[in-house]
Each structure stands twice: as C-alpha cells, then as structure tokens.
Amino acid sequence: MEPVIFWILSAGAVVSALAVVFFKKAVNGVMSLLAFMLVMAALYVLMGAQVVAFFQVIVYVGAVLVLFAFVIMLLNLKDASSSIFALPPVATAALPAVLLTLGMAVLGWFVLQDAAFSRAPVVLPPAPGLRQIAGDLFTRHLLVFELASVILFVAAVGAIVISRKEGDRS
C-alpha cells in the first residue's frame, strides 16, 4: 500500500512543482508552491519522519509561504492576460479537480482492498526524540532560530518599503 501512496504523492509533487514554473500569475505560483510543500510533508510522514513533516508545515508553509503571498499581494502585480494557462477557463478549473478526484478514488480503492477489518488495531509507539529535538532547538541552536526570525522580519519590512509609492509617507 505504501508504494501506491508514494507514487500518488510523487506525482502530486511533480505536477505542483511544474505548476509553480508554468503559472503566469505569481499568486497561483505561490499556491502551487504551497501544494508542493504540503505534499513533501506528506512524503516525510510516509517515510516515518513526522517531526520533519511538522517543521516543514510550520516553518515553510506557516511562515515562508505566508510571507511570499503577503509580498506578492502587497506589490499588487497586474498581468496583461486573464488566463492562467493557454487552456479555456473551464478546463483550467476542471483539470485539477478531476485529477484530485481520480487520485482520491484510486487511493480509497487500494485502502479498502488492503483493509483487514477483523485485525486488532495497531498501536504505534510515541515518536522518540521529540523532546530532544525541542531541547536542541531552543538551547544549542537558539541563535540560528532567532536569526531566521530576524531575516523573515527584515524581508517583511523590505517588502513594505519596496511597495510604497514615491510620495506616500504613511
């Protein structure tokens, strides 16, 4: 079952990474980057690295991508064309929905085929090392953690300064 989930997630990663490159609008590119990072977090969970997936979601999706979206919307970029791709708008909207629906249907089919409802539930042990990772992050690597927050703050202030108009002093 894991290989099927892996290949579905890998295909999602490739499609969303290509969408980052091929979308015309920057906001759509950031949303595709969001999809890519969430798929990567799911792949980390599949590999058994739940802590890495947690940090992927918190740091990259929760901070960096929000900053990207904020900067793009603050800059108010206007595009000449209204279409995302060269496809008609209905096909552009329907294609991801159809692919997602088919992927979920295939995934559900394999899960139901592999399910053994008579077995006792599997109890997973707690993830080892979470306390140690948190301790290292806030003691030994505290300077790097704080420098990352300062860099993100400087980037946000820089985006505000760049986006201001010449005569606007507010």
Residue 65 belongs to domain with CATH number: 1.20.120.1200
118 lies in a domain? no
Give the pTM.
Answer: 0.52
State the residue range of the domain holding 98: 2-77+87-112+126-163
**What would the pLDDT profile of 81-127 be if each residue is shown by its tens digit?**
555 555 566 666 677 777 878 877 887 777 777 666 656 666 776 65
- CB atoms closer than 10 angstroms to residue 18: 12
Torsion angle, alpha carbons of 42, 43, 49, 50, to 10: 0
Geometric angle at alpha carbon 151, from 60 and 77, rounded to 5°? 70
Geometric angle at alpha carbon 133, from 132 and 138, rounded to 5°? 100
| Per-block mean pLDDT, blocks of 10 residues, the chain (170 long) | 87 89 82 89 88 84 79 67 56 72 79 65 67 81 85 81 66
